[in-house]
Structure 1
Amino acid sequence: MTKWTAADIADQQGRTFVVTGANSGLGEVAARALAKAGAHVVLACRDTTKGDAVARTIGDNAEVRRLDLADLASVRDFAAGIGSVDVLVNNAGVMAVPRRKTVDGFEMQIGTNHLGHFALTGLLLAKITDRIVTMSSTAHKMGSIDLDDLNWENRKYNRWSAYGQSKLANLLFTYELQRRLAAAGSSVKAVAAHPGYASTNLQAHTESVQDKLMAVGNRIFAQSAEMGALPMLYAAAVPDVAGGSYLGPDGLFEQRGHPKVVGSNEKSRDEKTAGALWSLSENLTGVEYTFA
């Protein structure tokens, strides 16, 4: 796995990838790399104008479909229009945004980063032939799952704690999904990844002075989006990745470098919390998983 790069992606001819949030940042980088390797890539974007601009530069291997993860009706419409998929990459997300709600009344970060992708994966599961890759973050370490107040209705809202909760939820979801797939005898795998500290526009939407501070950090400390996308690409395209793996950079504190299997904290491995979060997510989204 040492020094693996996007140039090492095997031929992906005949394979279809859905990448959420592929109109910019890590998703755009991943879509370009997968299409270059021959894959057909569906750019699942809320902003289809930006998505179309990216797709035009990629060429015939890219198509754009509208998907707003903060609107379950949009998620259902998107899923209904998709055929067979080899790999679903749950990449899109928001970080440290001010308190606001999704169309369905969820806190925006848990609603977009976890619940939207939970619903999308469940609705597409029967169409997925290979694997589901979900993006988490080292920020999962500062998260806690409050099953009684997942949407911050009774707590004082803290944007970073809400982000950490959503990224912890991504890992709990991935590990629980893998357990359920394996129990059902499915060959489909669930894998997670994180980009380390990568320079993207994710850090530009806090609508606070933190945007300026993080812009400085991006210039001085962050690795490129091309490097940050490598763990996701490895998780999505390398054949022998094990289900339940978590990929991240191999450098100091997993902030930069080439992809390797990394660990996650004890909270992310709590099977009781994972099962309870799964049930709550099904209830909130109205999407119940069926395992063949």
Structure 2
Amino acid sequence: MGWTTKDVPDLTGRTAVVTGANSGLGAETARALARAGATVVLACRDVAKGRTVAGELGDRAQVRALDLADLASVRAFAEGVRAEHERIDVLVNNAGVMAVPLRRTADGFEMQIGTNHFGHFALTALLLDRITDRVVTVSSAMHRIGRIDLDDIDWERRRYERWLAYGQSKLANLLFAYELHRRLTAAGSDVKSLAAHPGFSSTNLQYRSEAWYGKIMELTTPFLGQPPDQGALPSLYAATAPEAESGAFYGPDGPFEMRGHPKRVQSSARSRDPELARRLWELSEQLCGVSFPVS
């Protein structure tokens, strides 16, 4: 029998922040954390949906507005959380967009790299000195198709390809998680940086690509994909299991890592390139206007 939510340890007295907690994997992650006793901050672009989820969880759930596609919103959210919480035990960088048409964030970034990577990069930087245990960044098996173009990361000169842009953003998530691990370790910090991916899960992420195949995915994904509570297990394992290792990547243990229980998995050689990670980190600090309290 593999690891399930029954194996989540007692989290009484601990505080977690989960981005994108108004639906899908984020909502399931928040539910499991709250049921284990944690206070959970549901960081949501759709606050109304977040309140619906929080209503199931009682006083341990707090809903706060966060739009990762707007760095002003990221800063406002971080300031609010810092004012309310002396410590944050766990940050789960879960929210994301997938394969959307070309559009820009409030700060001019391509939407997928801006939301999936830059928004979470800035959020982590602004909260890191309050984090006591671990940062979990959610990537995807699709990171394998990703290529980081540091000279055109926002697709201003290249012909836009929505899936390649998604792959770039998910590769950036892994490069960030691994580089954060290296920097925390070098600084002598006990804080962990881990990554996870959900396999193929039935969530509304698949239905928002606005492509011709969106309706097909909407009809077939509930039958082919695993339910969200199963897809959330790798993130939950990374966020709570005492034995989960910093610098590791967790995903499902089934065929092709599409479904199953959490296990440590491998990522592409490109995701483990420390020089690429360093250069992406420096570019991200520059573009987001943040700096980390680890060198």
**What are the within-5 Å matches in structure 2 for residues 116-265 of structure 1?**
116-265=119-268
Residue 210 of structure 1, CA deviation: 1.8
Displaced runs of 4 or more, over 3 A: none
Corresponding position: 1:16 with 2:7 = no
What is the TM-score with the length of structure 2 in the denominator?
Answer: 0.97
Residues 154-210 of structure 1 show CA distances to partners (whole Å, capped at 9, x for unaligned) of 001110000000000000000000000000000000000000000000001111222
Deviations 1:46-98 (A, max 9, x none): 11111111111111110001111000001001111112100000000000001
Please give the alpha-carbon distance, in whole angstroms, between the structure 1 residues aligned to 2:258 and 2:25.
15
1:288 matched to 2:287: no
AA in 2 matched with 1:16:
T
Question: How many percent of aligned residue pairs carry the same amino acid?
Answer: 63
Match of 1:231, as an amino acid?
A: P
The superposition leaves residues 3-52 of structure 1 with CA deviations (integer Å, 9 ceiling, x where unpaired) of 11001111100000000000000000010011000000000001111111
CA–CA distance in structure 2, aligned partners of residues 252 and 116 of structure 1: 32
Distance 1:119 1:202 in 2: 22
Name the SS of the counterpart of 2:59 in structure 1: coil
> Unaligned 5+ residue runs, structure 1?
none
- Indicate the residue corresponding to 1:274 in structure 2: 277
Deviation at 1:219, TM superposition (A): 2.5
C-alpha separation in 1, matches of 2:183 and 2:227: 35
Corresponding letter in the other structure for 2:225: A
| 5+ residue gaps, structure 2 | none
Q: For the residues of structure 1 that align with 2:112 and 2:200, how far apart are their CA atoms?
A: 19
What does residue 52 of structure 1 align with?
A: 51
**Distance in 1 (alpha carbons) for counterparts of 2:252 and 2:194:** 15
Task: Measure, in 2, the Cα distance between the counterparts of 1:257 and 1:109.
Answer: 27
State the secondary structure of the residue aligned to 1:241: coil
Counterpart Cα distance in 1 of 2:243 and 2:260: 21
